[in-house]
Every structure is written in C-alpha cells, then in structure tokens.
Amino acid sequence: MLIQTDRFGTSVGQALRVHSDSMRMNRRLRAEEMAAKLPVKLMLPLIVFIFPSLMVVIIGPGAIKLIRNFLPAMSGS
C-alpha cells in the first residue's frame, strides 16, 4: 500500500485512513457474522441441559401433588 501511494503520488495519510476504515469494516462484519452464528451454537446446550432441568423445576411440584392425591385413590383404600 505504501509503495503504491509513493508510486502514484497520493497522500500517505489518506491511504492509511482508507486502509484503517477498510480494516475496521472487516472487523465489524466478522463480529456480526459470529454474533449471527451464536443462537445456532447455543441451541444444543439449551435443549440438552437447561430445558429439562427447567421442566423438572416447573412441573415437579405439581406432579408430586398429583401423585400424592391420586395414588391413595388408585390403591383402593
């Protein structure tokens, strides 16, 4: 880049500004691309680990109460 600015007689400062803008834009695009891939990568751990434990916490107390209420009725006592 510096050789081209010297060869064509353009401003080194302007060339560096354009180059830094280009690098900044590439870095931002890479970050946005990685951020877009994140939900897909998080789906498996959510399904395997968090959702089952959440269901146990939410449904567990109700299931215990139902079993305590209906189990004596099923035994015929």
Residue 20, token pair as written in the block:
């830094």
pTM beyond 0.85: no
**Tokens describing residue 16:** 């560096």
* pLDDT at res. 58: 94
pLDDT, position 22: 95
Domain of 62, in residue numbers: 2-75
Largest CA distance in the chain: 101
| pLDDT per residue of the chain (77 residues) written in tens, 0 to 9 | 778 887 888 888 888 999 999 999 999 999 999 999 999 999 999 999 999 999 999 999 998 888 888 887 765 55
- In this prediction, residue 76 carries a pLDDT of 55
User: What is the tally of structural domains in the chain?
Assistant: 1
Return the pLDDT at 54: 92
